[in-house]
Chain A
Amino acid sequence: MVAQAIFYLLALLTVGSSAVVAFSRNIVHSTFALLGAFMGVVGIYVLLAADFVAMVQLLVYVGGILVLTIFAVMLTQGIADVTISNRAVARAPALVISAVAAAVMIFAVFKTPWHQGAKVMVGPTTYGIGNAFLDTYALPFELASIVLLAALIGAVVISRPIDRRAQEQ
């Protein structure tokens, strides 16, 4: 019962924050609601016995991506102007399509007989994940580091101020 209560509380936080992100007319509100959504998801992760992943989610999403997004929002003009900052068009067809897609998939979820293992995951998981990264997933792990490096360099190159004269030459 306690677990169910916790789940529903976290689900409410997640869905509610997501709704603000999706429907708010102010981009700043959306951004801060994103924080709530991420925190709710972290809770869900913990509930699913993924302690390490939950910490990663907290560090990367909340500590990294979210802060970055807020920076981007703040660096662009006109955030105070609701109509400019978070203009949304054709909301009705988008709402219908999203709802239909969700409904179809929820229907599918309930209709599918999911294969389930005999036992459930129990923490702590860090030891196992570490072993897997240096064993089975060694190559993807290294590739991931290259992707990150490329993204880092790419971001620096893209966001650098454009030298007009150099471009014309």
Chain B
Amino acid sequence: MPGGLTLNHFLVLSLIVFAMGLFCVMSRRNAIGILMGVELILNSANINYLAFAFYGGGRYDGQIFTIFVIMLAAAEAVVGLAIVLAIYQDLRTIDVDATETLSG
């Protein structure tokens, strides 16, 4: 094991980042803030993928999935931010509590 680091080191790091992202998503009312939380969660997942790939026998699948996740995150960010800008044009705010027109 390089330099005494184990799989658990990376998993715990990723979980801490995940918890930060979760808290961010749950507590924010700003749409952009929520999107940032989502990016943190995605990053923690990527760390997991790469850690398992590294310790799991030297196969490329984990790394390839990471690339797909990054690609989807880019798409998500683009569309998400476009939606945010559209909402802003319409409502002059990006507070998610204001966007309740679909509520039952």
Contacts and interface: CB of A to CB of B under 8 A. Distances in A.
Contact between chain A and chain B defined by CB under 8 Å: yes
| Interface size range of chain B in the complex | 35 or more
B26 interface: yes
7 tightest CB-CB pairs across the interface, nearest first? Answer: A3-B3, A117-B57, A102-B19, A151-B75, A18-B20, A94-B26, A155-B82
B19 A99 contact: yes
A85 B33 CA distance: 9
Interface in A46-70: 47-50, 52-53, 56-57, 60-61, 64-65, 68-69
Interface string B57-88: 11011011011101111111111011111101
Contact of A148 (B13, B39, B75, B83): B75
30 contacts: A1-B3, A4-B3, A18-B17, A18-B21, A37-B40, A41-B17, A44-B50, A48-B47, A48-B53, A50-B53, A68-B77, A69-B35, A72-B81, A85-B30, A86-B30, A87-B29, A88-B29, A88-B33, A97-B26, A99-B19, A106-B12, A109-B8, A117-B56, A129-B60, A132-B60, A137-B64, A154-B79, A156-B82, A158-B86, A161-B89
A139 interface: no
A166 interface: no
B55 to A, nearest CB: 5
Given A120-B2, A159-B85, 18 more contacts: A4-B5, A7-B5, A19-B20, A22-B23, A22-B27, A31-B36, A37-B17, A47-B5, A53-B46, A60-B74, A61-B39, A61-B73, A64-B77, A109-B12, A114-B7, A147-B75, A155-B78, A162-B89
| Interface size range of chain A in the complex | 35 or more
Contacts of B19: 98-99, 101-102
Interface of A: 1-4, 7, 11, 14-15, 18-19, 21-23, 27, 30-31, 34, 37-38, 41, 44-45, 47-50, 52-53, 56-57, 60-61, 64-65, 68-69, 71-73, 75-77, 85-91, 94-95, 97-99, 101-102, 105-106, 109-110, 114-122, 125, 128-129, 132-133, 137, 140, 144, 147-148, 151-152, 154-156, 158-159, 161-162
Interface majority SS (helix, strand, loop, mixed), chain B: helix
Interface majority SS (helix, strand, loop, mixed), chain A: helix
Contacts of A50: 50, 53-54, 63, 66
Given A3-B4, A11-B13, A97-B26, A41 B46 contact: yes
Contact of A76 (B4, B12, B32): B32
